[in-house]
């Protein structure tokens, strides 16, 4: 399925809930959250129906996110069913890791093909300051479990922030020294609570410099052939079992190669992370639309995917007011 700029759309990120067991300061406010009504969330049957239609249009990869996707009940049933859909080659998940100690094995058994764990710090004190919940021990146990299981395609995502975790960048990257995983540094984006929290993201150029100082030259890994691997640029460091990656949304826009769309937990097809245009799928699904008309509506909507995210354009009238926990990153 091609959009108006001839980008091939092969990847859908589906948010399963706006609920979360953490309250990361750059993502979610502590109070005043108006939770989505459960009846408004897409059911598993509705999600599967949309993914079947998308797969028929060429989508090959699904990523489940949130909020925290592991708090959605019976998640493994959904993963298993997604894996049965013809054309879907990868079913991955992004999690804060808190529930991994009890769920990691079931996720793997259900057929999960990739796991991204958000990990901004290795210090329990910084964790509680950043995520407002004293749950670092669970995340650490979950991480250890996943690493011991030898799951392929494990990535750690870290958002470096001045005076929060900027002194931990080499230590976080060192996970890729000891294990065949990818550690990705992601630029703090001006979405949701990021700036209200008073946070300033560390630019990727500085992350890069810190890593080269600690570990020597970063050698590019034959890149982006596989867009299903996402927008990161990956690098190898001498003596590392895995790789490090950079996602530099603001400085080096990756929009020209964007291959994804998003679906919010309440069934809105979002065409770009930072823009509000899209399609109310829930309304269509609950109005009894036929499979053919659903595919037609998806194709028409995806065609209108905007050229770029316009993070830096303060006059962007299509800017989405949803926070990250309502979109899924």
Residues near ligand SF4 (CB under 6 A) are 20, 22-24, 27-28, 66-68, 96, 118, 324-325
**Structure-token pair, residue 1:** 């399925």
Exactly one of 3, 10, 18, 68 binds ligand SAM (CB under 6 A); that residue is 68
* Distance separating alpha carbons of residues 287 and 167, to the nearest angstrom: 52
Kindly tell me which residue out of 26, 136, 156, 215 binds ligand SAM, with binding defined by CB under 6 A: 26
Report residue 268 as tokens.
Answer: 């809105």
Residues 189-218 interacting with ligand SAM (rule: CB under 6 A) = 189, 191-192, 194
Mapping DSSP onto H, E and C, the string for 84-105 reads CCCCCCEEEEEECCCCHHHHHH
Per CB under 6 A, 112 contacts ligand SAM = no
Closer residue to ligand SF4, CB minimum distance, 194 or 298: 194
Task: Restricting to residues 119-178, name those near ligand SAM by CB under 6 A.
Answer: 157, 159
Query: For residue 238, what are its two tokens?
Result: 């001498």
CB-nearer residue toward ligand SAM: 3 or 329: 329
| Residue 233: its H or E element | strand 233-236
Q: Which of 27, 41, 50, 59 binds ligand SAM (CB under 6 A)?
A: 27
Segment interacting with ligand SAM, rule: CB under 6 A, options 20-28, 169-177, 252-260, 312-320:
20-28
17 lies in the site for ligand SAM, by CB under 6 A:
no
Q: Of 90, 118, 259, 274, which lies in the binding site for ligand SAM, with binding defined by CB under 6 A? A: 118
Structural element, H or E, at residue 131: helix 124-131
Chain center to CA of 189: 13
State how far the Cα of 136 lies from the Cα of 47, in Å rounded to an integer: 32
- The CA distance from 200 to 166, in Å, is 10
Per CB under 6 A, which region of 177-185, 223-231, 259-267, 320-328 contacts ligand SAM? 320-328
């Amino acid at each position: 399925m091609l959009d108006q700029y001839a980008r091939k759309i092969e990847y859908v990120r589906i948010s399963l809930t706006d609920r979360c067991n953490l309250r990361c300061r750059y993502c979610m406010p502590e109070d005043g959250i108006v939770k989505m009504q459960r009846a408004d969330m897409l059911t598993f049957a509705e999600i599967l129906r949309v993914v079947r239609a998308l797969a028929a249009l060429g989508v090959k990869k699904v990523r489940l996110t949130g909020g925290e996707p592991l708090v959605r009940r019976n998640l493994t049933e959904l993963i298993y069913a997604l894996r049965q859909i013809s054309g879907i080659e990868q079913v991955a998940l992004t999690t804060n890791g808190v529930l991994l100690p009890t769920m990691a094995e079931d996720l793997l058994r259900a057929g999960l093909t990739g796991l991204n764990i958000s990990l901004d710090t290795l210090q329990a004190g910084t964790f509680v300051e950043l995520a407002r919940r004293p749950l670092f021990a669970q995340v650490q146990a979950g991480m250890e479990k996943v690493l011991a299981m030898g799951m392929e395609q494990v990535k750690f995502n870290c958002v470096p922030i001045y005076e929060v975790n900027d002194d931990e960048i080499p230590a976080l990257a060192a996970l890729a020294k000891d294990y065949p995983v990818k550690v990705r540094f992601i630029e703090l984006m001006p979405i949701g609570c990021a700036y209200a929290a008073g946070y300033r993201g560390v630019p990727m150029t500085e992350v890069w410099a810190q890593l080269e100082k600690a570990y020597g030259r970063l050698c590019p890994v034959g890149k982006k052939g596989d867009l299903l691997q996402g927008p990161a640029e990956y690098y190898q460091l001498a003596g590392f079992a895995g790789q490090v990656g950079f996602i530099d949304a603001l400085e080096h826009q990756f929009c020209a190669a964007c291959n994804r769309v998003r679906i919010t937990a309440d069934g809105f097809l979002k065409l770009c992370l930072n823009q509000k245009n899209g399609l109310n799928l829930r309304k269509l699904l609950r109005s009894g639309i036929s499979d053919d008309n659903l595919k037609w509506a998806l194709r028409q909507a995806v065609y209108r995917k905007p050229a770029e995210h316009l993070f830096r354009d303060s006059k962007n009238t299509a800017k989405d007011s949803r926070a990250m926990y309502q979109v899924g990153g």
